[in-house]
Structure 1
Amino acid sequence: MPRVNVPVTQITRAGVAAPTEVTGDATNNHVVANNGRMVLLVRNSGSTVSRTVTLRLPGLTDGQAVTPRTVSIAQSTSRYIGPFPTGDYSSLLQVDVDNAELKLLAFGV
């Protein structure tokens, strides 16, 4: 099954309404349109354990896969992550989550 899209909310000087969070899908994972200025907001809605979000780097270095970047999100907290240079992360950022307790939002400027 294809990755679940996380829509990017463009921030403007006039302001924008708060978007709806995308619930983490640990089976299909996620993809986000990335222009190099996009930032993720990841919230751990659980109250008992930390959760992990993994950001895939699609390229190769010297013929070897690049180790994905992982970020731990403590219980009942949120983290802003980014921006993501397109040369490293591509124009389609692949985001993996370890549990549905992670909620995702993407913002662009």
Structure 2
Amino acid sequence: MELLVTYDVATTTPEGAQRLRRVAKLCEGYGLRVQKSVFEIVCTDADLVRLNDSFRRIIKDGEDSIRIYRMNRGAFTKVTVLGVAARLPHDQSLVL
């Protein structure tokens, strides 16, 4: 499945900045960063369950926001890219 994950983590405190880093690091383990707080992720149903569980453990419900959009298969190959952005190769293996 293809996901577009966006997040907004409150960073007015050191704890918030730490949550932001943890959310970003988690997303980097699953997909490709396309903007500062936006990731394109290709994953399985089981990966999505683990990802959601990890997000719930990291964020603070009253301060942070994560949005996960399920995209149609192949959506990332049909994206229109303008400016300095580049289309990313989701069909290649990630190097961790």
> TM-score scaled to structure 2, two decimals?
0.38
Write 1 or 2 for the structure with the bigger share of helix.
Answer: 2
Write 1 or 2 for the structure with the bigger share of strand.
Answer: 1
> TM-score scaled to structure 1, two decimals?
0.35
